[in-house]
A = this chain, B = another copy of it.
């Protein structure tokens, strides 16, 4: 295939795997821009932590831990173990190597650098072959409304292990947050040929990106230029590939199906194609009825052949 300029909208681990699939299967990986959700970011122990940026950065830099699914390979936890006896908070797992990222990011941000500039510097230090950019340099913070009251995202996700039942979401700061400059640049690139919505959580990973002011207009402009906007279902056979997406859907009164994810996106006319796993073939017609072109392809991204297969299916939309 010829050089394909691609953007991918990504949350954490699931998005990172999709980004890896793209990098492995396009001719010029440097033309990929991965736009990461930063509404999961939080200040913890005085450090600025960007879990989704890090998940993507670590995987694309081959630093990730495959088995654990998050964080860095050959990680140790000595700092966290020492923090407990000092009276510090230890509910958020921070490995010693991972800490270096948070320390250096926080230090650079405190010098006045934007999150985009800091991320570019970290990615360049790690020798990443593509661009990984934050959706915004401004603070957007996901609040999960639950039957136990509102919770900051990481409190819901890590401290409470997604136990409280979800009633809704709020993205604090989203009205005034601007799309980051490198993200705008990628969205407006004349060369852009493909936009991918990774199989990340539609509510807490994709919606904060999609909800940024003018983001939908940018996608709309892409569709007018006939650039495919392809979402990959994070739901396979009723279960989430990873994380609380299926549980959230059920709690919100929706059946946890690929179709309902497609509806979530189609309600705002966001996508042109929706990739579902063969086990969800029965939903193909209903998806087509939404005006979205279904793509049927094994949707798990755990092996290199699977990633190649899924990318072949996606690149056929071009």
Contacts and interface: CB of A to CB of B under 8 A. Distances in A.
A97 B121 contact: no
A83 B103 contact: yes
Contacts of A106: 46
Interface stretch (A84-92, A206-214, A239-247): A84-92
Contact of A78 (B76, B83, B86, B122): B76
A86 B99 contact: no
B85 A104 contact: no
A117 to B, nearest CB: 12
A79 B97 contact: yes
Given A85-B126, A121-B87, A125-B87, A46 B110 contact: yes
Contacts of A286: none
Nearest to A75: B78
Task: Report copies per complex.
Answer: 2
Interface of A: 45-47, 72, 75-76, 78-83, 85-88, 95-101, 103-104, 106-107, 110, 121-122, 125-126
A88 B76 contact: no
B79 A100 contact: yes
Contacts of A101: 82, 86
A89 to B, nearest CB: 9
A81 B75 CA distance: 12
B122 A96 contact: no
Contacts of A76: 76, 78, 96
A100 B125 contact: no
Contacts of A80: 100
Contact of A46 (B81, B83, B88, B103): B103
B46 A87 contact: no
Pairs of residues from A and B, 7 with the lowest C-beta to C-beta distance, nearest first: A82-B100, A78-B96, A46-B107, A82-B97, A87-B125, A83-B100, A88-B104
